[in-house]
Amino acid sequence: MFVHGMGPDEAVGLIGTGVFAATGEWVAMERATSGLQDGTLFAAEAGGWAQVWDPSMTFAPVCKPPGAGLAVVFSSVASTYAFTLFDGGVEVRQWVSSDGDLVIDEGTPLAAEAGVDIPAWGPDEDFLWTVIEAVTGRGHGDELRFQVYRPS
């Protein structure tokens, strides 16, 4: 989940399923975006956008940012990729692909979507990172360090 104009603590606070506390531990992007660490969130801020990663996909997918935001789902195991774009807290674009088939395509496509070469097997991580970069102005962010949050 990417939320504009908030810090990591505020963005984590949007997760309506409980209260999370920062542990003081910091991790690299690779750890924050992979693995199945149930109940753990990872958050950072760059370029005015807070990023909250929920590798287990337990909490963040149900969150609706109050302003500008972007929720993404990466599930290479299930070959499912998705994003929902919010503007002013309102959903303006939703896109879901599963097993290479377009399942949901609502709202006006982003110009960046047309510029992505889709592999024969269908959209993948590269497609989502193109959307993320178009919306937030930031790419993968390997240099970022993420604060670890656990339920308190």
Look at residue 117 in the predicted model and tell me its pLDDT.
87
Statement: residue 68 has pLDDT above 90: yes
Asked whether the beta carbons of 124 and 76 are under 8 A apart, the reply is yes
Give the residue among 101, 104, 64 at the shortest CA–CA distance from 85: 64
Q: Find the range with the poorest average confidence among 71-75, 81-85, 144-148.
A: 71-75
Give the residue among 4, 3, 10, 5 at the shortest CA–CA distance from 147: 10
Domain count, the chain: 1
Look at residue 136 in the predicted model and tell me its pLDDT.
94
Statement: residue 69 has pLDDT above 90: yes
HEC states along the chain? CEEECCCHHHHHHCCCCCCEEEEEEEEEHHHHHCCCCCCCEEEEEECCEEEEECCCCCCHHHCCCCCCEEEEEEECCCCEEEEEEEECCEEEEEEEEECCEEEEEEECCCHHHHCCCCCCCCCCHHHHHHHHHHHHCCCCCCCCEEEEEEEC
Q: What is the pLDDT of residues 18-60, one digit of tens each?
A: 788 999 999 999 888 876 667 899 999 999 999 999 887 777 5
Domain range holding 36? Answer: 2-151
